[in-house]
Structure 1
Amino acid sequence: MTTRQPSAPPDIAGLRYVSFIGMGGFADVFQYEQLGLKRNVAVKVLLSDPNDAVRRSFEAEANLMAMLSNHPSIVSVFSSGHAPDGRPYLLMEYCPPPTLAVRIRKAPLSISKTLEMGIQIASAIEMAHRLGILHRDIKPANILFTEYGRPALTDFGISVTTELANQGQGVGLSVPWAPPEQLTSGQAMSPASDVYSLAATLWTALTGRAPFEVPEGPNDAYAMSRRIRNDPLPPLGRPDVPQSLELILRTALSKDPNLRYSTALEFARTLQNGQTDLHSSVTPIDILEAAPADDATGLPQDTGTELVNPISVSAEGPTNNDSRWPSGQSAPGAGLISHGRGSADSPGERSFTALPVPELPVANSSTTQPATGVGTQ
């Protein structure tokens, strides 16, 4: 199979072409300098003569990323338009190479970096879910790093609303990190599907391989999707990873979506527990909460940091009234949850008691039905 050549970078008013960054199935990405502001930007340009479905997907990606681009762990979109040759483009935040996929080809990440990244990306996914958006293609190649080294999620090109996902609609996937329900024709997807893909990405970051990739192969889309649907999850195989962290990832990678963490926020909080177990600093969860309106102005109040679904703390220790958590569990460590920038009187971070890791049953790996027409990317 021949690899196509990159398309020509378009002439865009106010921008100066710098270099080629990378290519995808339907678009190329270039680095430009934004004249006047003297800043680097990335420009994602759709290939010539796209079909209507590809053009609609590209336009939808622009709208979705614009809705989410204020989040610190989502690549910002500044504007969109059409080049003089008619090709649509997105003007985005520049995140210098390499992507996570390239980084972990050289060497797996440290445990502390993997936990930090997982919490930051989980907070981005949680915000997308709260807007009714499933990403559906979380993988190492779609995690970039800003110029300050912070991970940022990109490529919402195959995202769908949660309503369509619940109806089993939406096409396109990256098999090694896709959950079993995405590989099964007509099966509904949910926020737990993105949780699975993030956990598969973190597994890859720790090991250098996707969860069901085998050294001896075959690792084509058909063989990989069959293992994802039917085979038990193999051991992580990294001796320095504590058993508690591997259990967290195994829970998130359960074949049954009902046995995973139900939200990205729950997954992020559990990863925070992994940090406290290792006596590491706890990474804040970045979530923007809608504030109540001020009676005088009608505008939202700046309430600073608030807790999302906090647990109660008494003299006897934390309680959460959740039947999944075993009685007599030792008190968990403290964590942080961040909600925007805060105010002068209300700081942007506040301590809370993080939830302990639940005891969940292991999913039955033989219950998922075979897929029909698995796609590749």
Structure 2
Amino acid sequence: MIDSTILHYRIIEKLGEGGMGVVYKAEDTKLKREVAIKFLPHHISANKEERKRFEIEAQAAASLNHPNITTIHSIEEANEKVFIVMEYIDGVELRDKIKTGPVPIDEAISIAVQIAEGLEAAHKKGIVHRDIKSQNIMITGDEKIKIMDFGLAKIKGGSQVTKIGTTLGTIAYMSPEQARGEEVDHRTDIWSFGVVLYEMVTGKLPFKGDYDQAVIYSILNEEPEFKNYSELNSLILKALAKNPEERYQTTNDLLMDLRLLSHEPYVKPKRNIIPLKAGIIIGVIAVLIIAVLLFKNSFSSIETDNISIAVLPFTDLSPTNDQAYLGDGLAEQLLNNLARIGNLKVTAKTSSFSLRDKNLTVQDIAEKLKVSKVLEGSVQRIDDKVRITATLIDASDGYQIWSETFNRSSNDIFLIQDEIGESVVKALKLKLLGLSSSPDKKNVNPQAYSYFLQGNYFHNLRGKENLQKSIFYYSEALKIDSTYAAAWDGLSTAYSSRSDFGYGSVEDDNKIALKYAKKAIELDSTLASAYSTIGWIKRIYYWDWTGADSVYQLALKIDPANSNIIGGLAALASTHGRFEEAIRLDQKVIEKDPLNLSAYLNLVLHAYNAGEFNLAISTAKKLIEINPKFPGLHMKLGQIYLLQSNIKMASQEFENESDELWQLYSKILLNYAERKNNEADRYLDQFIKDYEDIAAFQVAELYAYKGDMETAFIWLEISYELRDSGLTTIIGNPVFKNLENDPRYSNFLKKMNLPYRKKI
């Protein structure tokens, strides 16, 4: 066969042989290029059914045009031989690369992303490969991946040409349903992909046996083992779920998680048009920022090293008093843009907005927020006219540095665009904002923008009814514009909050939130808050610690000063018992965001678990000064006093607790501390009746505090089944101290993939 010519193809060398044919390297003498030719064996070509399968391979693969899939040039027949002419790939099989040892994680992820992108292209056309394996993956000299051999490809809705009961594929890579000879869909490729990924990072196959049936038994009944934990483990395990319903349902979902692990955002092009009424608001914001920056004796004329500023929510002066959401939206956008100035210190929204309606002087506000300048304003809307006033104040003397009023109508859009354009052209002042010369604005429908701002407003108010309103307004925005990334981000956060506060289903709301956050990132890869939400869900609900860390780190690259992201990393460190790191990160958030209530609470909790009771007490007292009615705070402070055997101080704090759940929790702790066990048991029964679905972890804490270790372990298991977020605080928790040397405790931590350090 070597050196022979068939049609206009000169055979050069044999490349390989498989059950569906022999492959040769050849020269296309007409087009002067190297190709690969796959011949159907004669004993198979004579069989109508097998020949039909061969034709399906060619038809399926030829319909695909993707850089990660081998290109099919033609199907030919000559001298009673049928063959496919394919792209020749000069490279090595992934199988051969793996033979030299496990592939480094970053490289494995890069390879996996390309394989998944090729599979996604095939699945979108309804084509299932059915024989994904490392032998069918080629790596070119420039590190490009090519999926080969769609010989077992199945076209969705196509005729069944395989005999009933016949299984196709390579056994070690077969999905359970494929191994059983059942009907398969694209999820069988996702399983095989998981096998290849496992093979890459471990250097071996996940399911092994001395003979075929032993391998199939392993596939159907055993779980893959990991010697070393890597950030890919949870992804691989999900791809290798034996029930197809529990696997990744689409290759796109798989790709999203791979991209998150790779720390490379998924970038899609965005449009660059500013809408009508929304454009007015965005335009005015831009003008405000430019005005502040260009005003003499302010940011343009002095160094910003010593300047710090707080942007307060703009006051609603509209006759109908229903534009607070617009005032908040204006202030937040101004704050976000000012924060892009490298040396300018801008107080975070959580702190500046917390002083709303406090009747404080500018000097009082500046002192609390530790800033030298304050930007405040007002918004007034009547019909289609809007008036926005902004004032920049020097906190040292209370005098205005600059003030201006902007009157606009819906007919002013072109004027505003001209005004913004002229401002952008001026010198290079906008470089201070970190903005590009062509601002990254999306064509947002004005009504959708209004709904989005209202969604933000009600989400910030918290509470069950407000969160429902928030979800409603974000959803309304998306009904108008389904490509509105910020609205998907907001909707994701609202569902996550609803779950966190116990207002909805923990499972359903977190899955919805994750789905919507991924949708937001697909539309805009720069939304740090969407990555942060994914990190939160992976940490709180999925307990995917490495996945959460990867997403948080990616979010931090996008927005290094984001308090929520840093706070998430602090909580993640605390979950693993790295309390010194957690406390340092909490203090970093508080330094930048001095009125961030969540940061203070996190510091209390992390210091408490670290055994740093004095720090926990002093921090709790500071938080009480800011918000005396913060839910659960007085309970936690009282609990610390109990652990210090100070029942009197504990009782005083318990009396000041305002939240009903924590009031009852406090009563139980106090009665057990005072040896009033019957009374405490009665309250505990009531607590379980009222809150078992949302506070199972707290029930475990109470039984542990009582000294009933058996029941405490039972409730820890219930917490596990309910995915109770409280379990993320189990390590170091003082009430579980007596459980730590029990083998069940270490086994429980192992089940959660958490570290266990035996107490001496």
* Fold in common (TM above 0.5): yes
For the structure 1 residues 176 and 318, does the alpha-carbon distance in structure 2 shift closer, same or farther, using more than 3 Å as the test?
Answer: farther
What secondary structure does 2:5 align onto? coil
Q: CA contact under 8 A between 2:138 and 2:147: conserved in structure 1?
A: yes
For the structure 1 residues 81 and 124, does the alpha-carbon distance in structure 2 shift closer, same or farther, using more than 3 Å as the test?
Answer: same
What secondary structure does 2:138 align onto? strand
Aligned position for 1:231: 222
Q: CA contact under 8 A between 2:267 and 2:525: conserved in structure 1?
A: no
Aligned position for 1:111: 105
CA offsets 1:132-168 (integer angstroms, 9 cap, x no match): 1111111111112345331111111112233469998
Q: CA contact under 8 A between 1:158 and 1:170: conserved in structure 2?
A: no
> Aligned partners of 1:165, 1:352: CA distance in 2, in Å?
44
Aligned position for 1:259: 246
Deviation at 1:98, TM superposition (A): 2.2
For the structure 1 residues 315 and 336, does the alpha-carbon distance in structure 2 shift closer, same or farther, using more than 3 Å as the test?
Answer: closer
What amino acid maps onto 1:71 in structure 2?
Answer: H
What amino acid maps onto 1:231 in structure 2?
Answer: E
Deviation at 1:169, TM superposition (A): 7.7
Deviation at 1:194, TM superposition (A): 1.2
For the structure 1 residues 328 and 102, does the alpha-carbon distance in structure 2 shift closer, same or farther, using more than 3 Å as the test?
Answer: closer
Aligned position for 1:206: 201
Aligned position for 1:323: 509
For the structure 1 residues 46 and 204, does the alpha-carbon distance in structure 2 shift closer, same or farther, using more than 3 Å as the test?
Answer: same
> Aligned partners of 1:282, 1:95: CA distance in 2, in Å?
29
Q: CA contact under 8 A between 2:60 and 2:155: conserved in structure 1?
A: no
Aligned position for 1:192: 187
For the structure 1 residues 327 and 155, does the alpha-carbon distance in structure 2 shift closer, same or farther, using more than 3 Å as the test?
Answer: closer
Aligned position for 1:44: 38
Aligned position for 1:271: 258
For the structure 1 residues 33 and 147, does the alpha-carbon distance in structure 2 shift closer, same or farther, using more than 3 Å as the test?
Answer: farther
What is the 5 A alignment of 1:109-258? 109-163=103-157, 171-185=167-181, 187-213=182-208, 218-234=209-225, 236-237=226-227, 239=228, 242=230, 244-258=231-245
Does residue 12 of structure 2 align to residue 18 of structure 1?
Answer: yes
Q: CA contact under 8 A between 1:66 and 1:77: conserved in structure 2?
A: yes
Aligned position for 1:3: none
For the structure 1 residues 263 and 35, does the alpha-carbon distance in structure 2 shift closer, same or farther, using more than 3 Å as the test?
Answer: same
Q: CA contact under 8 A between 2:91 and 2:141: conserved in structure 1?
A: no
Does residue 95 of structure 2 align to residue 101 of structure 1?
Answer: yes
Q: What value does the CA root-mean-square deviation take over the aligned residues? A: 3.5
Unaligned runs of 5+ in 1: 1-6, 286-308, 338-349, 363-377
Deviates more, 1:73-82 or 1:17-26: 17-26
Does residue 69 of structure 2 align to residue 74 of structure 1?
Answer: yes
Deviation at 1:175, TM superposition (A): 1.2
What amino acid maps onto 2:205 in structure 1?
Answer: A
Of structures 1 and 2, the one with the larger relative CO (CA 8 A, separation 6+) is 1
> Aligned partners of 2:179, 2:159: CA distance in 1, in Å?
13
What secondary structure does 1:265 align onto? helix
For the structure 1 residues 319 and 222, does the alpha-carbon distance in structure 2 shift closer, same or farther, using more than 3 Å as the test?
Answer: same
For the structure 1 residues 142 and 233, does the alpha-carbon distance in structure 2 shift closer, same or farther, using more than 3 Å as the test?
Answer: same
What secondary structure does 1:319 align onto? helix
What secondary structure does 2:109 align onto? helix
Give the fraction of aligned pairs with identical amino acids, expressed as a percent.
27
Unaligned runs of 5+ in 2: 269-481, 496-507, 545-760
For the structure 1 residues 10 and 24, does the alpha-carbon distance in structure 2 shift closer, same or farther, using more than 3 Å as the test?
Answer: farther
Q: CA contact under 8 A between 1:143 and 1:151: conserved in structure 2?
A: yes
> Aligned partners of 2:63, 2:525: CA distance in 1, in Å?
28
Name the count of aligned residue pairs.
305
What amino acid maps onto 1:74 in structure 2?
Answer: I
Aligned position for 1:312: 485
> Aligned partners of 1:14, 1:165: CA distance in 2, in Å?
33
Deviation at 1:31, TM superposition (A): 0.8
Q: CA contact under 8 A between 1:99 and 1:144: conserved in structure 2?
A: yes
Q: CA contact under 8 A between 2:168 and 2:178: conserved in structure 1?
A: no
Q: CA contact under 8 A between 2:195 and 2:206: conserved in structure 1?
A: yes
For the structure 1 residues 42 and 21, does the alpha-carbon distance in structure 2 shift closer, same or farther, using more than 3 Å as the test?
Answer: same
For the structure 1 residues 316 and 151, does the alpha-carbon distance in structure 2 shift closer, same or farther, using more than 3 Å as the test?
Answer: closer
Rg comparison, structure with higher value: 2
CA offsets 1:255-274 (integer angstroms, 9 cap, x no match): 11111110011101111111
What amino acid maps onto 1:260 in structure 2?
Answer: R
> Aligned partners of 1:152, 1:227: CA distance in 2, in Å?
29
What secondary structure does 1:71 align onto? coil
Aligned position for 2:55: 59
> Aligned partners of 2:213, 2:151: CA distance in 1, in Å?
23
Deviation at 1:282, TM superposition (A): 5.2
For the structure 1 residues 284 and 223, does the alpha-carbon distance in structure 2 shift closer, same or farther, using more than 3 Å as the test?
Answer: farther
Q: CA contact under 8 A between 2:167 and 2:179: conserved in structure 1?
A: no
Deviation at 1:39, TM superposition (A): 2.0
| Residue from 31, 45, 50 that aligns with 2:25 | 31
Q: CA contact under 8 A between 2:108 and 2:200: conserved in structure 1?
A: yes
For the structure 1 residues 189 and 105, does the alpha-carbon distance in structure 2 shift closer, same or farther, using more than 3 Å as the test?
Answer: same
> Aligned partners of 1:123, 1:325: CA distance in 2, in Å?
24
Aligned position for 1:291: none
TM-score, scaled relative to structure 2? 0.37
> Aligned partners of 2:148, 2:483: CA distance in 1, in Å?
30
Q: CA contact under 8 A between 1:31 and 1:42: conserved in structure 2?
A: yes
Aligned position for 1:88: 82
> Aligned partners of 1:113, 1:125: CA distance in 2, in Å?
19
> Aligned partners of 1:283, 1:327: CA distance in 2, in Å?
18
CA offsets 1:296-327 (integer angstroms, 9 cap, x no match): xxxxxxxxxxxxx9783359768286734386
> Aligned partners of 2:265, 2:167: CA distance in 1, in Å?
37
For the structure 1 residues 195 and 284, does the alpha-carbon distance in structure 2 shift closer, same or farther, using more than 3 Å as the test?
Answer: farther
Q: Which protein is richer in helix relative to its size?
A: 2
What secondary structure does 2:69 align onto? coil
For the structure 1 residues 165 and 139, does the alpha-carbon distance in structure 2 shift closer, same or farther, using more than 3 Å as the test?
Answer: farther
For the structure 1 residues 352 and 265, does the alpha-carbon distance in structure 2 shift closer, same or farther, using more than 3 Å as the test?
Answer: farther
Q: CA contact under 8 A between 1:311 and 1:318: conserved in structure 2?
A: no
For the structure 1 residues 360 and 176, does the alpha-carbon distance in structure 2 shift closer, same or farther, using more than 3 Å as the test?
Answer: farther
Q: Which protein is richer in strand relative to its size?
A: 1
Q: CA contact under 8 A between 1:164 and 1:170: conserved in structure 2?
A: no
Q: CA contact under 8 A between 2:485 and 2:521: conserved in structure 1?
A: no
Q: CA contact under 8 A between 2:2 and 2:12: conserved in structure 1?
A: no
What secondary structure does 1:29 align onto? strand
Q: CA contact under 8 A between 1:183 and 1:225: conserved in structure 2?
A: yes
> Aligned partners of 1:74, 1:169: CA distance in 2, in Å?
29
